[in-house]
Amino acid sequence: MRPNKIKQMWRDGKCVTLGWLSVSHGFTAEVMARQGFDALCVDLQHGTAEMKDVGPMLQAISQTDTVPVVRVAWNDPAAIMKALDLGAYAIIVPLVNTAEEAAQAVAACRYPPVGFRSNGPVRAMHYGGADYVANANDEIVVMAMIETKQGIENLEAICATPGLDAVYIGPADLSFALGMAPRADNPDPLHMATCDKIRDAAHKAGIKCVMHCAGAEFAAGAVKRGFDMVMLTSDLSCMIAGARQELQALKAKTA
């Protein structure tokens, strides 16, 4: 089976860079995949993609060495299994509140006898290799998002879930949980301390912790703080920032 680069980098003690796809288009996915990210996530929760878009987007990503990741919209075994069958090598599950919910997410990603994933890797076998079914349990990465009051309360139990590879911090919803308005790259001391608490709990349990960032400066700080993966930017954010920068430059030069 094709090795999962995310797991390889984690074994080597390296931080993984993750890009984000909010736009549901194969060409956008291909362009982002060619920029050098270690992994790239199709967002089914808040992006414009639907499940019908996932296959073509993963095909586009797979033209490169970038690891294909999918964030499902909910902790739904059917959606998780479908994304895996289409070739996702990592699954991000949002709004995980308990160890039981984390265990359900893990089980949906693992073939029996470890989990209850149904056998039918229609595209995954072509991407991963003929021995996909025999090795998928060891290669597929499962990440549970910690972003609610209940998730924080059950943090240690969630991190101790057998088979869970990482917890993923959702900073916007985490802000809600802490009584704050969501903002990108939140520097609030309580928010920062809570993120560090999540990181420490993950590392204590022997799993990884991911920080969702909006820019390079905050992401670099997260790497220095010991996070194992940083989401750096999205296709939509880059489009907005690039267009705004050029338009403002034109206005400034022609004022």
Contact assessment for residue 72 and residue 43, using Cβ atoms and an 8 Å cutoff? no
pLDDT category, 164, cuts 50, 70, 90?
very high
Q: Which residues contact 124 (CB under 8 A, 6 or more apart)?
A: 84, 85, 86, 87, 88, 132, 136
Residue 44 — pLDDT band, cuts 50, 70, 90? very high
Question: What phi and psi values does residue 9 have, to the nearest 5 degrees?
Answer: -65, -40
Q: Cβ distance 122 to 86 under 8 Å?
A: yes
pLDDT for 184 equals 93
How far is it, in rounded angstroms, from Cα 207 to Cα 87?
A: 23
Instruction: Tell me the pLDDT band of 206, cut-offs 50, 70 and 90.
Output: very high
Q: Which of 46, 126, 203, 212 is catalytic?
A: 46
pLDDT band of residue 23 (cuts 50, 70, 90) is very high
Number of domains in the chain: 1
Q: How many whole angstroms separate alpha carbon 158 and alpha carbon 96?
A: 8
220-235 per-position pLDDT tens digit: 999 999 999 999 999 9
Mean pLDDT of 67-91: 98
Containing structural domain, residue 51: 5-254
Q: Please, is 157 exposed, middle or buried when counting C-beta atoms within 10 Å of its C-beta (0-12, 13-18, 19+)?
A: middle
pLDDT (tens digit per residue) in 108-125: 999 999 999 999 999 999
Residue in 93, 91, 167, 76 with CA at minimum distance from that of residue 136: 91
Closest CA to 102 of 199, 196, 174, 167: 167
Q: If you write DSSP's letter for every residue of 29-64 in order, what string do you get?
A: HHHHHTTT-SEEEEESSSSS--HHHHHHHHHHHTTS
**Domain CATH for 247:** 3.20.20.60
Model-wide pTM > 0.75? yes
Catalytic annotation present for 203: no
